[in-house]
Each structure stands twice: as structure tokens, then as C-alpha cells.
Amino acid sequence: MSQLLRKPQQKEISEGVTVVQEVNSETSQLEYVGVKVVDLAPGRSYKENLSNTECCIVALTGKINVSDSEQVFENLGTRESVFEKKPTDSVYVSNDRTFEVMAVTQARIVLCYSPSSQSLPTKLIKADDNSIENRGKYSNKRLVHNILPDSDPSANSLLVVEVYTESGNWSSYPPHKHDQDNLPHESFLEETYYHEMNPRQGFVFQRVYTDDRSIDETMAAENGDVVVVPAGYHPVGVPDGYESYYLNVMAGPSRSWKFHNEPAHEWILNRK
């Protein structure tokens, strides 16, 4: 059984509140990254006390209200499907705070976590605040929405980004890694991938492997799956006829995204 591929669990924790995915330090090899995917029926709420953890609340689909007991942000969310390819709204909440998310419409949220000891202000990250990039060429084309990039000092550890990969293309490719605390050349960042497909019955292939092959696993990730990347390279291939979406959560001892391409495949970047 795969240690890195997590299938949806659909655990109803109260009426109208369903935990679809939950990955944390108790259920995985990860020390710095946690992720929870929650479905909310209209009018239902999810509440959590963060203690020594920071959280980025991503309004994946539907409309939500978010409160941190001092501020309320209303009618967040911009899309009914991630494949509308519009940036969405998010809220960053620091450690030692309590937050509550209430669904205005049927909604799916992604809660992105990392350990934190320094309290920071709660921040609304509007859809318009997302920087948008088109990366790659040939069969490596993808669209990126930066929710919490390392250029934004709003968080202590968390990095959050959405990536769309076109049909028949590759992403996180050529294979790169960020598992060495060796700045300025490379940073140590754990990572999770939350996957969705269009059409929903699709799948992508993702390989996670280290130089010494102590980790070497190739998975078929389906809609709603989470892939855990504790270390190593982690490319994604999208079959013809399907589009891929994934939400990345990264965190580590330094809040800096410095990656290292696998030397054997770096030549791909230099093609004319």
C-alpha cells in the first residue's frame, strides 16, 4: 500500500460538515506541513483553535464567511469549479487564534497548516492579490496562481500555490526537489499535492523519488487525492484529454522556495 497517496475519506464530523482529506504529522512522515479538505453544506460551520499552528484557509469552491473572533470576512470565494481557472479568496490566520468558516453556499475549503510560534496579523488574501504566471513551453505548460508565495511576508512558514496543467503536458518538470537545507542554493520544504481532474474521472501520474531511491514511488492520482512529498523529486504527467489542477502546500525551517533540478533531466530546459 502506498505511503504517499491518500484517498478521500469522507468523514462526517457533524451534520453538513465532512472532512474529505486530512494529512498531518500524526498520519504521515511530514513534520512541517498539514492539509485538511472540508466540505460544508449551506449554513454549516467548521471551527478550530490553532494553538501553535498557522493556517491558510482557501475557498476552493463555493462561498464562505471566515471569522477569527475579531474580524469577519464575508462572501469569500469566486468559483463553483476550480476549472473556471479564476483565482480565489483565502484567509491567513496565525497561531494562538480561533477561526470559524461558515458556508454561504455549498463549499469546499482547503486548510493549509504549518507549525508556528510567532503571532502575525490575520490577513485576507483576495483573489486579485494572487499573482498569475504562465510557466513552461512545449509540453510543460502550466498556469500558476500564487496565493502565499515566499515574496509575501504574511506567514511564518506556509507557502500555498495553485497549478493548472494542460492536457498531455507535464508539471513540476523537469523533476526538481527542495529537500536540503542549503540556502541560498536549495531550501528544505515538505509538500503536499491536492489533485482534481477535468473531467472528474481522469487521473494523473506522479512520481516521488530521491537521488538514492530510498523513496521511489509512482502513483496514479485521481480526483480528490492527496500526494505527500516528504522529500525528493515529484513530477506530474497529465494524460491526453484531461486537465489537471493541484493545490500545493509547502513549509519548512526557512520560508524560501529554492529548488534543485535533477541534473540528468535539466537539459530539457535548454531546448531551442
Question: Would you tell me how many other CB atoms lie within 10 Å of the CB of residue 205?
Answer: 14
Mean pLDDT for the stretch of residues 134-147: 95
Residue 1 scores a pLDDT above 80: no
The answer to whether residues 38 and 61 touch, using CB atoms and an 8 Å cutoff, is: no
Q: Which three cell numbers stand for residue 66?
A: 471566515
Query: Which candidate, 236, 270, 269, places its Cα nearest to that of 5?
Result: 236
Residue 270 scores a pLDDT above 90: no
Q: How far is CA 222 from the centre of its chain?
A: 15
Tell me the pLDDT tens digit for each residue of 81-107.
Answer: 999 999 999 999 999 999 999 999 999
Task: Report which residue type is found at 134.
Answer: N
Domains and CATH numbers, the chain: 7-270 (2.60.120.10)
Mean pLDDT for the stretch of residues 144-157: 96
Mean pLDDT for the stretch of residues 202-210: 98
The answer to whether residues 163 and 269 touch, using CB atoms and an 8 Å cutoff, is: no
3-state helix, strand, coil in the chain (%, to 5): 5, 50, 45
Residue 272 scores a pLDDT above 80: no
pTM listed for this prediction: 0.97
DSSP-based three-state secondary structure for 197? strand
CA angle 129, 132, 136 (to 5 degrees): 160
Residue 141 scores a pLDDT above 80: yes
Mean pLDDT for the stretch of residues 219-246: 98
